[in-house]
Amino acid sequence: MRENVKDMARKTKQASYFLANVSSFHKNQFLLQLADNLERYEEEIKKENRRDLGRAKDMGMQPSLLDRLELSSSRIQAMASGLREVANLPDPVGEVIEGCKRPNGLLITKVRVPLGVVAIIYEARPNVTIDSVALGIKSGNALLLRGSSSAVHSNRVLIDKTKQALSQCGFPPEAVNLLRCESHEEVQELLTLRDYVDVVIPRGGAGLIKSVVENSQIPVIETGVGNCHIYVDGSADWEMAEKIVINAKIQRPSVCNACETLLVDEEIASQFLPSLLCTLKKKGVEIRGCEKTRELVEDIPLATEEDWYTEYLDLILAVKVVGGIEEAINHVNQYGSHHSEAIVTQNYAAARKFLEEVDAAAVYVNASTRFTDGGEFGMGAEMGISTQKLHARGPMGLRELTTVKYMVWGTGQIRE
């Protein structure tokens, strides 16, 4: 008889009490064991992943999403390396954030503790399974995972190797559980289990995140949607700007920190844009432009209002000529998803203004938006990029997967 979602969640909750008190040494031993398991069973993992890829191709999945789904040898090695990197990071659990001694003698300390049970609902990318396990276990959390049907065989084999490592290290296998992914009803049920699940993290497109936020009875940390912009200021170094835009758009277009909209100061647009857009088109990028952009470059369709809001996750770029930094900032704050935004400029005042006035989790000066990533920020893996302001914002590493507990020591004090 198959286990239902509530029973699975209850067992995960029980395992979370064990994990909250596991030493850093033993958590690291688990991570290293899992890394070894991924390498040892690479061929089995790739075989199961090919089953998912074959089915996805038959169903007509677009190339950018197939890329997210694939587990090549290099990506499996990257997952193993990520586990080892997280094992080398400081353990946040037990960290004393601050403390004081009150006049009545009470000693109060504010200490980091795990969240408890973290449910993660995600799409297409099976590497998220291992990233979640790495960060979840290292931060002392138990995990309920629900991947997409497109990656069901990949996720199952990865969880099988995870449970094997948990058992090898003396951890309860129920510390990490994968929902069957057979119906949307199991997600709806999961989102009601407040007695067993402490926080839900959706990772995927706007539709998934909206559905989870609207239906969850459990606190949600929103992640993922990345309608990211690059603004090329009138003072920008053109060679630098071209290099940054090309990298942010085409290095990996299917991820949330890729650039989706390019804004260019009208002061330089007529000289800068034609060459850049020609290069992008040669690299397979479809351009959609405003009226001013279309006057400068031929055969570009007119960008619609919807384009300014769209996270393409593909080789498509919306381009707009703006009247200066004020218009650029207003555009970003109106249409952006509060993920990652960048300015290319040689003007310090413009850089400071952009940094201070743009409302986003990560704001860059003279660098690609592609750096918004837990690994690139020195966090090892990440649980996602939070685009909200509570309880975390930006790449969610180990510290972001903890909450606090006040530990109070007394000597018999009573309140009068």
Residue 169: which of 36, 324, 303 has the closest Cα?
36
Catalogue all structural domains in the chain, each as residue range(s) with its CATH number.
5-224 (3.40.605.10), 228-370 (3.40.309.10)
Token duo for residue 411: 């000597």
- Averaged pLDDT for residues 121-125: 87
In percent, how much of the chain has pLDDT > 70? 99
Neighbours of 245 (CB within 10 A): 26
Residue 176: which of 163, 194, 193, 158 has the closest Cα?
163
β-pair partners for 316: 286
> 107-114 and 117-122 as β-strands: parallel, antiparallel, unpaired?
unpaired
Q: How confident is the model at residue 2 (pLDDT cuts 50, 70, 90)?
A: low
- Averaged pLDDT for residues 270-299: 97
Task: Point out the least confidently predicted range of 19-28, 39-48, 117-126, 363-372.
Answer: 117-126
What pLDDT, on the 0 to 100 scale, is given for residue 204? 82
Q: Has residue 60 got a pLDDT over 60?
A: yes
Neighbours of 188 (CB within 10 A): 13
What is the reported pTM?
A: 0.88
Place of tokens 């007695």: 195
CA separation for the pair 378, 13 (Å, rounded): 30
CA separation for the pair 272, 265 (Å, rounded): 10
Q: How confident is the model at residue 374 (pLDDT cuts 50, 70, 90)?
A: confident
Q: How confident is the model at residue 206 (pLDDT cuts 50, 70, 90)?
A: confident
Give the model confidence (pLDDT) of 142-180 as tens digits.
999 999 999 999 999 999 999 999 999 999 999 999 998
What pLDDT, on the 0 to 100 scale, is given for residue 123? 85
Q: Residue 97 is inside which H or E element, if any? A: strand 96-101
CA separation for the pair 139, 93 (Å, rounded): 6
In percent, how much of the chain has pLDDT > 90? 87
Q: Has residue 116 got a pLDDT over 60?
A: yes
More confident residue, 265 or 390: 265
Token duo for residue 75: 């990506």
CA separation for the pair 74, 52 (Å, rounded): 18
Token duo for residue 68: 């997210």
Residue 114: which of 91, 89, 139, 90 has the closest Cα?
139
CA separation for the pair 78, 107 (Å, rounded): 45
**How confident is the prediction for the chain on average, in pLDDT?**
95
Q: Has residue 220 got a pLDDT over 80?
A: yes
Q: How confident is the model at residue 363 (pLDDT cuts 50, 70, 90)?
A: very high
Q: Has residue 21 got a pLDDT over 70?
A: yes
- Averaged pLDDT for residues 352-368: 98
What pLDDT, on the 0 to 100 scale, is given for residue 1? 45
In contact, 384 and 217? CB cutoff 8 Å: no
3-class DSSP state of 325: helix
Q: Which residues have CB under 8 Å from 124's CB, separation 6+?
A: 65, 68, 69, 148, 150, 151, 204
Could you say which DSSP state residue 302 is in?
B
Q: Has residue 107 got a pLDDT over 60?
A: yes
